[in-house]
A = this chain, B = another copy of it.
Amino acid sequence: MRVAFLGLGVMGYPMAGHLVRKGGHEVTVYNRSAAKAAQWVAEYGGKSAATPRAAAEGCDLVAMCVGNDNDVRSVVYGDDGALAGMKSGALLVDHTTASALLARELHDKCAAQGIGFVDAPVSGGQAGAVNGQLGIMCGGETADFDRAKPILDVYAKGCVLIGGPGAGQLTKMVNQIVIAGLLQGLSEGLAFGKRSGLDLEKVISVISKGAAQSWQMENRWKAMNDMKFDGFGFAVEWMRKDLGICLDEAHRNGARLPVTAIIDQFYSQVEGRGGSRWDTCSLMQLLGSD
């Protein structure tokens, strides 16, 4: 198949690579910085294009993974945007974590051109993208999802249609809200334990076998014990972007997020301490001994 991939960041770069190596597709990439696109072509073969429109022309599926709602709009709309180049019957897939409002807007704009749309944010981080083991949460029409899934499966360990347009984005929001509260509880518990003089390795050996267990506990307790938050994981600035989307959506749908809202503010404090690039478990830094 002919596939385009727009946005070669830490996620998109390896994802587009899987489309070539595992999918055997004819892939054209577009990236805002052309040097990165040239590097990708040198590594994987395929082609690069100067605009999203040029990348999308003649493709069966156009996937993208960019920064936020406005970045999505800038690669999809306008004379140089992907929609201007896409043919009727093609599919547009957005892996960006963005608003459900944008997903519904894209669905409608695509539908007007006879193009299918699937919102498909991912979880699993950079490691999941590199290993082709992402969780993909999809929203859209069943027929569109069914056509997209075999292509997306090259970088997925799970690719599930949750509901109509926007449902993928809303599911990603649930994921981020759950993680925020969980990490704050974990941070308060471990900071309390340190302050009490406990050996956290022994503490974790017991409590990780019971009702307090979580992926974050198992994978982050060591960093939290060492108070080393840099150089791994999911960055605070990305989490804040996502929590902003959650809080916006909650204003619209009336959901109550009392603790999520506070944690967003705590992350603002982490950023104030220079932690924009630290992993999200750095909430613990605010509870430290200083």
Chain A residues in the interface with B (C-beta under 8 A) = 100, 123-125, 135-137, 157-158, 160-163, 167, 170-171, 173-193, 195-199, 202-203, 205-207, 209-217, 219, 234, 246, 249-250, 253-260, 262-263, 286-287
* Given A170-B196, A179-B211, A198-B174; A259-B123 close (CB under 8 Å): no
Bound CA–CA A179/B188 (angstroms) = 10
When the two chains form their complex, are residues A174 and B158 in contact, meaning their CB atoms are under 8 A apart?
A: no
* Given A175-B189, A198-B167, A206-B162; A234-B250 close (CB under 8 Å): no
* Given A124-B210, A137-B206, A210-B124; A192-B175 close (CB under 8 Å): no
Bound CA–CA A217/B182 (angstroms) = 11
When the two chains form their complex, are residues A185 and B253 in contact, meaning their CB atoms are under 8 A apart?
A: no
* Given A123-B207, A170-B196, A170-B198; A181-B184 close (CB under 8 Å): yes
Interface of A is mostly: helix
When the two chains form their complex, are residues A188 and B256 in contact, meaning their CB atoms are under 8 A apart?
A: yes
When the two chains form their complex, are residues A158 and B192 in contact, meaning their CB atoms are under 8 A apart?
A: no
When the two chains form their complex, are residues B211 and A192 in contact, meaning their CB atoms are under 8 A apart?
A: no
* Given A192-B173, A257-B188, A259-B185; A178-B207 close (CB under 8 Å): yes
When the two chains form their complex, are residues A253 and B195 in contact, meaning their CB atoms are under 8 A apart?
A: yes
B residues within 8 A CB of A185? 177-185, 259-260
Bound CA–CA A215/B217 (angstroms) = 11
- Chain B nearest CB, measured from A194 CB (Å): 8
When the two chains form their complex, are residues B203 and A211 in contact, meaning their CB atoms are under 8 A apart?
A: no
